[in-house]
Every structure is written in C-alpha cells, then in structure tokens.
Chains A and B, each alone.
Chain A
C-alpha cells in the first residue's frame, strides 16, 4: 500500500513534527507546551513514519537505540538536579543564568529547561521504544 505520495508525506510530516516539538519544548515555560507534550508530539511523527517505512527506518533516524535515548533523557534530568548542588544550593533548586542580549532582551536559561529537555527525550524514547517493539512483533508475525 506504500505509494510515493504516502512516503513523501510521511517524510515531510516527520520534519514538520520534529520542528514543532522543539518549538513546543522551548516555549513551554511561558506558553502551553513543555517536555512531556513535545515528546509525545515527536513520537507521533515517528509513528506515522514507522507505519510507512517500518521499524528499521526509525532506528536509522534515531541512530541510537530508543532505550539508550531514554537513558540519555534520565541522565539530563539527573544533571539538571545535580547542577544546583554544585552551585551551592540544595538539590533540584531551580538555578538560573540570565543573559542580556542586545536584540532579544533578557534570556533566562535555567536548570528547569534542562530538566524539561530530559523529560522530552525520555518520553519520546519511551513511546518510540514501545512503538518499535510493536512494529517489530508485527513485522515478525507476517
């Protein structure tokens, strides 16, 4: 049932969704969005892609094993929890770096963003891991 249109659409869709998910992640602190939502959005793109191209294609794009990505996500969360300790406050205290840029005004960079990124990576890796498993079982059955 794979047609050129479907394949092209899936590829385009994946890209659009990937960009969208990053936007959702970054704006999450002030507007609706955030790591959890962005992670699900990204994985939706991959599901479509996986239905069209199969699990190996997903594997090729994400390069590392989806479970490795979950680990990376958790590691980011851990790092964001440890950074405040090194800075002298208690664990998981939000620590902020405020940068003033001439054109964009002030930018608040903080450990919550890192934390959210970790959540993003973990959630995306989690759903992908389930999806890949399902697709593999299905492929194996046919």
Chain B
C-alpha cells in the first residue's frame, strides 16, 4: 500500500500544478473533482492504519535524491498516519465544502491552486523522513497559507493579516532551518528514521540549549502560542473553508507535529518541560478566557483553537507517556470538532449574512441539521460524553494529575480553561440557535433544504466520526500505541474507553461541567469583566505593536538606503574602489612574510609591446578631449588584453573579451550621437583625488596579480579539472566543462544575476519613457 501512497501524493502535487487549467475546463465542479485526490489518500491511509502493527514503522524510499544527505523518502508510522488521516480526510471535506461556499467568489482557480499546494505541503511535511525535506515543506505551508489568508487581497485587513502570518511563521521557519542543520551536524544524519532507531538524543550536547530554543521558537510561532498567538485571530480574514482547514488539521498543528516528532531526539529534559509548560499553560488559559469576550463567531472559535493548541503544547511538555497519549488523542478530538464548527459557522454566515452572535438567534428551526451537528461538536469541545472529546479531556486530566511536581499549577489552569470552554460552548448554542425574546426575525437567505449536500457533508461527517470514535475508541488503539512507540520509545499499551469508572478524574470533570454551567448563567458579569480585561490588554495590543515594529524597521531601512543610495555614480565607484582597496591592502600586508617560490619567467618582447600599446591607449583615453576617441582608445586596450589572453592559450576567454568589447563598441556607437557635448566639468581638486584613487587601485591590483602568481600555498585546483574534464565531463574544452558541469551552480548564479540586471536596465529605460510622456 505504501507505494500507492507515494504515487497518490505525487498525483496530488501534479493536480495542484494543473489546477488553474483544470478550473477553466471544470468550472464549478473543480472542488468536487479535486476532493477525489485527498479522498483516495485517506482511503489508502485507512487501509495502512488497519494493517499497522504496534511497533512497526516503515519507510517509503524513492529513488530521488536532491543533495547528499537529502534523500526524498517518506515515513509511515502511527504519528504520520494520524496526522495524514486528518489532513487528507478534512481536506476532502473542505474541498467539497469549498465547491459550494466559494462559488460566488472570483479567482476560484487561484483558490483551488493555493488550497491544493497547502494540502500537498502539509502532507509532505508530515510524511517526510528527512529533516531538510520536512523544513522545505514546512516553509511551503507558510507560503501557501500566506496566499490563502490574503485571498481577499482587495481588503487592507486581509493583506495585513497575511503579511503578519507570513512574517511570524517565516521567522519560525528560519529557526527550524538552523535547528535542522545543527541536529544534522551533531548526529551526522538528516534521516528521521535513523535518529529514531538509533535513539539519538542531543540532550547532552553543548549546543542543546540553542537547538531547543530554535525548535521551540519554530513550533510556537507556527502553532500560535503566546506571545506569537496574535496572528491566528488575524487570519480569520481568510474565507471560512480556509479557516476550517487551517485550524483543524493543518498549519497551526504543524508546530505540535514538530514537537512530537522531535520529542525522541531532544525532549524529556528539564528545559524542554518547563519552557513548553510555561508557553503552553499561558496560551491555554488566555485563549479560553478571551474566547468568552468575543462577539464574532469565527473569532470565538479562533481563540478556542489557541487554547487547544496551548493544551497540546503543554501536554507534550509534561513529558510522561500519559500526557503524550493525551496530546495525540486531543489532536484528533480537536481536529474533528474544530473543522465541523468552522464549517457550521460558514453555513450560518452564508444563510444570515452575519457572524455576530448577538445578532443571531433562533436558527434551530431554519437550520436543524446544522444545529444538531454544531451541538455535537460543541459537546465534544466541552468534553462531555459520548463524544471523543470526553475521552480526550479525561486523559488530559489524568495525565496532569499523575505528575505530582507540577500538577498544583497545571491542573487548576487546565480546569479553568475547560470551565471557560464549557461556558463558551453553551453560550454559542444558546445565542445562535435558540430564540431570544424581543428580537426581530432574522432575514434568512436560504433554508436548509436549499443548501447543497456538499456544504453539509463536512459538519455531519466530522460530528459522526466524533461520536463513532467516542463510542468505539478501540479502533484507534493500535495506531496510537504505534505513534507512542515511535515518540518515546516506550512500550505503552493504549486501551481507550469511554467509561473509566467513578474516580478522581471523573470528579474533576463533573466539577468542570457544573462550574461551566454556572459561568454561563452568570455570563453577563463574566463577559463584562473579560471585556474590561481585554480593553486593558489592548494597551499592549500585540498586532498593532507588531505592525509598528515592522513599519519602524522599514522606515529605518528607507533612511539608510537613502543615505547609501545617493544616486551619484562617481561616489558609488569611489566607495567600491576604496573598500576593495583597503581589504586587499590588509590581506597583502598580512601575506608579506610569505616567501616567494616561483621564479619569474623571462620577459617576452611581443608581450611587452602589447602592454606598452595598451598603456598608451589608456593614457590617450584619459587625456583626450573627444568622447569618441576616448571610447576607441578604451577599445584598443580591451582588444590588447584579449590578445594577451590569446597569447597565453586562453582561447575562450579571449573570444569572450573580444565579443564583449565589440558589443560595448556597438552600443557606444548607437548612443554617442545623442550624448551631450563632451566637457570637462570637474575642478582640479576632484581630478587629483580621482588620480590618486585610480592609480592606487592599479598598483594594488598589479601587486595582487603578482603575488597570486608567485605564491603557491596549495596545489592549484586547475590540475583536477584538467585531469578529469574528459573522463568525468566528457569534454575536451576544460573551460567549458568547468562552466557547465563542474561549477554549474556558479554559472547558474551568474546567469540569474545577469537576468536581474537586465530587469533593472529594462525598468530604468521604461521609467524614463513613462516620465517623459
């Protein structure tokens, strides 16, 4: 089945590339058609999960290898399959949902392309067995989410949110890159499977502190943990299906995935425990607390997501097998209910045109199916039976109670957060679906009968999955055990069940629910209190602070650029020459003591003549009063140098020199007619300055060339090229083989720079034409 998976992911990638063309053929059916791909992946993964043995993972090696140590290989174990199942399953539903929800939008082709890219990069990140590959996909998810969040790019708010998300997650991405390289250097491998199987742990290394910080930064920026949590509510600017996908299975969960994947490599230390505990605990509580004070349905859900992510971070940090298990189960729980809730919110917004819970009311009769499905999802969020959410919450409480050393702080925080979540769940249902007295009837655009099945499929399927797994949790036992085996290398047999018997955990749960109901009953003072707090916090409004910082940075950059980029060509040249000269001079002084070994070769008379001719031409160019003759004199020097190359056997160099001289001449001839009168405008002083600088450069360059010839510190590399050009490069022209084979990367870089230069030239000329018109 494994190879089928590789092929399917490849197909998904191919589909994402051709989506713009598909859209022009399939039009409104694009979403339906595309949802087939993740669905097939989902089926494959289900089969894979059913065949899975408790302590076995396998690697799908492809023959592809990008760079040494960067093999493209995928890994199938419990963890990747759990994430893969949610990504592909919810992906299918979101695409179905989009096919209806997005039907009024423009640029749907773009939308589906971004969405597919997002899905592929997320799947790739989860499945990759190579750290660098994982990093690449990680960055791709950031880029794809940038386009998705900013999809309504005509709105200032969307652009702002997209940029914010990109900057923050991009910063995390850089941290991850450094961490990955460090890990690779320390352990000597980038393969995740090797790291896991050989029990490599970097905890004792002297750089552990640095690596840990980098990884945690990467994870908490991506997973919107305090103090980087603010980009996630901003990302609400995206269309609802995007939010549903972003929150439930992708993007923000990537950080959690990273922590879980890295746990066996670097987890389990005191530092790991307390840093994750701190950020996760604060996020968990603040998210739940602030969600109560929001009015916008999507914003409420966004804050509950932040809280849930905080819970998962905290659990991974708690570092016991029970807490890791709880984190995994809670990831599934959260994905199932959050996806459904967002899709329901989208349906509500589509039918009524508003997301404000104060304006909504009495929708139960209008949208009965949506209401029931929302209720089920909310029950799961509140952690009540019979949903999977109940099991998740019980496990969380159990894990936290087991740890005597930190449970005094963790447990109250967690109970507090859960109380708020219960209250929020009741509040949402009460405000949106039940009738309120004294409110005018809502203007409803559709009733449920007019709604397409594709729109309802998402909430229904996810809620049913929630119930099914809640009632029969045995189905995920093996896969969770497998994931745990590869996370902690602990042989931990998982048996999940809905009913644990009457114990401490259940007592805490009952207390949570009662307290939650009480908070709901006294919601008015509570909300007022929270609003006051939020207003108070708004003095330190993080998004605004962030924007301010970025703007200040940009202003500073603009000031510096204005100073450096003054626009006077002569000063650029002077700066450039002076800096280069100083550096060269320093190096020359440092190398003074090195003895010369190579004797100078005898002077040849025709070379000398060539040099004298070139020098005379230069002198003529400097002193002549006609522009044309100066240019021609320069050309004489250029051709002289070309001849010199030819004389020493560098035919390719000579040809290039001749050709570029010719092109330069031709261009000069083209424009010389249009240039203004040639006049000497500079005064005596500037000319003396120029003479000093130019002769200084001349002398230094001569010295460098001479010392390069006479000093041989190492065996010249040219010998390798000469020996291997024909055997390895199949070519007799060594220069060409070097250019296109041995050092092709350099050539690629040069050509790219040239292309950029051409773009600069083009825009300069265009600018001139436009300005004159």
Instruction: Please report A residues at the B interface, Cβ cutoff 8 Å.
Output: 28-37, 40-41, 43-44, 47-48, 51, 67, 70, 73-74, 77, 81, 85-86, 88-92, 94, 96, 108, 110, 112-113, 115-116, 118-119, 122-123, 125-127, 129-131, 133-138, 140-141
Tell me which residues across on chain B come within 8 A of A41, comparing CB atoms: 659
Tell me which residues across on chain B come within 8 A of A112, comparing CB atoms: 729-731, 737, 740-741, 744
User: Does more than half of chain B's interface fall in helix, strand or loop, or is it mixed?
Assistant: helix
Q: Which of B149-157, B254-262, B460-468, B754-762 contacts A (4 or more CB under 8 A)?
A: B754-762
Contact between chains at B667 and A134 (CB < 8 Å): yes
Contact between chains at B65 and A89 (CB < 8 Å): yes
Contact between chains at A116 and B736 (CB < 8 Å): yes
Q: Which of B719-770 contact A (CB under 8 A)?
A: 728-733, 735-737, 739-741, 744-745, 747-748, 751-752, 754-755, 757-759, 761-762, 765-766, 768-769
Q: How far apart are the CA atoms of A116 and B659 in the complex, in Å?
A: 18
What is the distance, in angstroms, from A69's C-beta to the closest C-beta of chain B? 11
Q: Which of B179-187, B294-302, B319-327, B650-658 contacts A (4 or more CB under 8 A)?
A: B650-658
Tell me which residues across on chain B come within 8 A of A127, comparing CB atoms: 663
B739, closest chain A residue (CB): A34
Tell me which residues across on chain B come within 8 A of A44, comparing CB atoms: 659, 662-663, 666
Q: How far apart are the CA atoms of A74 and B732 in the complex, in Å?
A: 25
Contact between chains at B765 and A119 (CB < 8 Å): no
Given A36-B739, A40-B659, A90-B67, CB of A135 within 8 Å of CB of B670: yes
Contact between chains at B729 and A94 (CB < 8 Å): yes
Contact between chains at B736 and A130 (CB < 8 Å): no
What is the distance, in angstroms, from B646's C-beta to the closest C-beta of chain A? 10
Tell me which residues across on chain A come within 8 A of B765, comparing CB atoms: 133-134, 136-137
| B751 CB contact (under 8 Å) in A34, A73, A90, A92 | A73
Tell me which residues across on chain B come within 8 A of A70, comparing CB atoms: 755, 758
B763, closest chain A residue (CB): A133
Tell me which residues across on chain B come within 8 A of A125, comparing CB atoms: 758
| B762 CB contact (under 8 Å) in A32, A67, A122 | A67
What is the distance, in angstroms, from A66's C-beta to the closest C-beta of chain B? 8
Contact between chains at B758 and A129 (CB < 8 Å): yes
Contact between chains at B762 and A86 (CB < 8 Å): no
Q: How far apart are the CA atoms of A17 and B312 in the complex, in Å?
A: 68
Tell me which residues across on chain B come within 8 A of A141, comparing CB atoms: 674
A50, closest chain B residue (CB): B670
Contact between chains at B758 and A34 (CB < 8 Å): no
Ordered by A's residue number, 23 sampled pairs between the chains whose C-beta atoms are within 8 Å are: A29-B731, A29-B733, A30-B731, A31-B732, A36-B739, A41-B659, A44-B662, A51-B666, A77-B751, A81-B744, A85-B66, A90-B65, A94-B741, A112-B729, A119-B747, A123-B754, A129-B761, A129-B762, A131-B667, A133-B761, A133-B762, A135-B670, A140-B772
Tell me which residues across on chain A come within 8 A of B766, comparing CB atoms: 133
Contact between chains at B731 and A47 (CB < 8 Å): no
Q: Indicate if B503 sits at the interface (CB-CB under 8 A).
A: no
Given A67-B762, A94-B730, A134-B671, CB of A37 within 8 Å of CB of B769: no
Which of A35, A81, A94, A127 gathers most chain B CB within 10 Å?
A: A94
Which of B660, B755, B757, B768 gathers most chain A CB within 10 Å?
A: B755
Contact between chains at B751 and A43 (CB < 8 Å): no
Contact between chains at B663 and A47 (CB < 8 Å): yes
Q: Indicate if B507 sits at the interface (CB-CB under 8 A).
A: no
Tell me which residues across on chain B come within 8 A of A126, comparing CB atoms: 754-755, 757-758
